[in-house]
């Protein structure tokens, strides 16, 4: 990359912060309190899920599981019920398993070290860096779809198939070391805005992957099964009738859910795990 001058960095930061001052999403509930537990919950909920869908689920989840200890000891069935509607239900169980691991191995304190965060169930590189930044205000290098959008739009306007490796030096050089939490919030809000006014900016990223449609997918079958079982225990025959899809697909998805610890078959009755 061509190194940015101090003036370049200052101008870019000033531009992003001006937008944030006028249009930043200060109303988001996880920005009202930067408690590490709240940040961890919000970041896992926000994986592959739009902010608008997450907000009400986050508020309800925090009301039922207000702290790490309450989540760690809650029945897994309750966690799954509260996760309904967010999709990718495995995230809910992994979140609880992460809480349990933190209680056991970190004295109920969410760690700030990258390696320790990455050891937790369901925590990948982005989520770990985001927790470092938003929970602890540490200047980690964070990259996700909205941040990619901003840097491609400003520094590679004619680019196509731009890899993260090319963007990372720009992200590192422009990072506000004193206010990383505020800086990344501003970048993400501006990236969200760009997606609304610029045609398909994320498609210029090499990391862009079009999300597979839900309809007809195994994910749809799993979601339908969990929706039924969340409401009440059912027999396998009742499940087939309620889900109303090909029986072989239901059987396969049900077996997966049993192995993964979402549901159990208790003498012919399908129920959520305890």
Active site residues: 43
Q: How far apart are CA 182 and CA 165, in angstroms?
A: 24
- Find where tokens 């993260």 sit: 164
Separation CA 140–CA 115 (nearest Å): 13
Q: Residues near 114 by Cβ (< 8 Å), separated by ≥ 6?
A: 128, 129, 132, 140
Query: Are 257 and 263 in contact, with CB atoms under 8 Å apart?
Result: yes
User: Diameter of the chain by CA atoms?
Assistant: 70
Residues 179 and 184: their CA atoms lie apart, in Å, by: 9
Give the span between the Cα atoms of 269 and 271, in whole angstroms: 6
Spatial distance between the Cα atoms of 142 and 164, rounded to a whole number of angstroms = 11
Decide if 80 contacts 262 (C-beta within 8 A).
yes
């Amino acid at each position: 990359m061509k190194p940015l001058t101090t003036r370049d960095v200052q101008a870019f930061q000033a531009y992003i912060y001006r937008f944030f001052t006028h249009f930043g999403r200060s109303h988001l509930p996880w920005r009202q309190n930067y408690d590490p537990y709240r940040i961890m919950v919000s970041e896992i909920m926000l994986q592959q899920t739009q902010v608008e869908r997450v907000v009400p689920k986050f508020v309800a989840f925090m009301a039922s599981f207000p702290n790490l200890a309450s989540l760690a000891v809650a029945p897994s069935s309750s966690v799954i019920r509260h996760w309904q509607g967010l999709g990718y239900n495995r995230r809910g169980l992994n979140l609880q398993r992460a809480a349990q691991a933190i209680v056991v191995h970190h004295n109920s304190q969410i760690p700030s070290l990258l390696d320790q965060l990455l050891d937790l169930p369901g925590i990948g590189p982005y989520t770990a860096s985001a927790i470092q930044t938003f929970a602890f205000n540490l200047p980690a290098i964070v990259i996700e779809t909205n941040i990619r959008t901003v840097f491609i739009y400003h520094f590679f306007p004619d680019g196509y198939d731009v890899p993260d490796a090319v963007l990372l030096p720009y992200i590192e050089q422009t990072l506000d070391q004193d206010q990383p939490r505020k800086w990344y919030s501003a970048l993400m809000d501006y990236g969200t805005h760009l997606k609304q006014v610029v045609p398909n900016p994320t498609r210029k990223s090499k990391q862009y992957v079009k999300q597979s449609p839900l309809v007809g997918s195994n994910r749809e079958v799993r979601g339908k099964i969990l929706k039924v079982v969340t409401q009440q225990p059912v027999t396998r025959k009742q499940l087939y009738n309620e889900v109303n899809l090909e029986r072989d697909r239901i059987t396969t998805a049900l077996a997966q859910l049993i192995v993964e610890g979402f549901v159990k078959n208790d003498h012919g009755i399908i129920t959520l795990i305890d």
